[in-house]
Amino acid sequence: MTRLFTSTGYLEADDQSTTLSLQRLPAFLRVLLTTDGTVTKSLESYFWEPVKVKNCGQQYLTLATAAPVINRQVGDRVLRRTVQLVGEKSGTCYATAVSLICAELLTDGLRASLEGGRVGVGELLRECGLETYREIVAIGEGGAAEPLADDESIWRTYRIVMEHQPFIQITEFFPRPIYQ
């Protein structure tokens, strides 16, 4: 599995790890694709408004296809969660995120908070002080396979790792026109 942007936020134009032309993207969108920090805080700072996590649905499901990013096989159970990051004042949807979460690896309290759907994953992990890190594993464009994204979306997939165990896979879709 490729790990992108582990030590730099830059890729050469001929880098074979993606077909996405990063140099043609708006600068802030490049920042969002390469950051290993919390996107919500960056959105709030850039667009200068509070950004809320809108839970669009979550459910436990049994994987019909493997999820190698989080070391899960066909038949494993995960929590699938879809959220939108929405400007509180403007109502603008700045991003949609789809997560696959290995809930059995979480403490009971953290799992209950996550299942309650009250905050975003990043905020929840920060609130509980869990030591984790993020690894960006893919970037691209398009989003027709995801109902809340569109063909103009730019996306990234990353995983959150705790104690060397990947336990959350998140794909974030950014609608390109908002960032032009």
Flag whether 97 is in a domain.
yes
In the block, residue with structure tokens 């789809």: 98
> pTM for the full model?
0.84
pLDDT at 87: 97
Flag whether 56 is in a domain.
yes
pLDDT digits (tens, 9 = 90+) for 146-169: 666 677 889 989 998 888 889 889
* CA distances, 178 to each of 25, 84, 147 (Å): 12, 14, 18
Model confidence at 89: pLDDT above 70: yes
Flag whether 1 is in a domain.
no
By residue range, what is the domain housing residue 153?
Answer: 48-179
Sequence-ordered list of residues with C-beta below 8 angstroms from that of 25, at least 6 positions apart, any chain: 33, 154, 176, 179
Flag whether 15 is in a domain.
no
Q: How many domains in the chain?
A: 1
CATH code for the domain in which residue 68 is found: 3.40.1410.10
Flag whether 117 is in a domain.
yes
Flag whether 55 is in a domain.
yes
pLDDT digits (tens, 9 = 90+) for 111-145: 787 777 666 676 766 766 666 778 888 888 886 56
Flag whether 133 is in a domain.
yes
Flag whether 7 is in a domain.
no
pLDDT digits (tens, 9 = 90+) for 60-72: 999 999 999 999 9
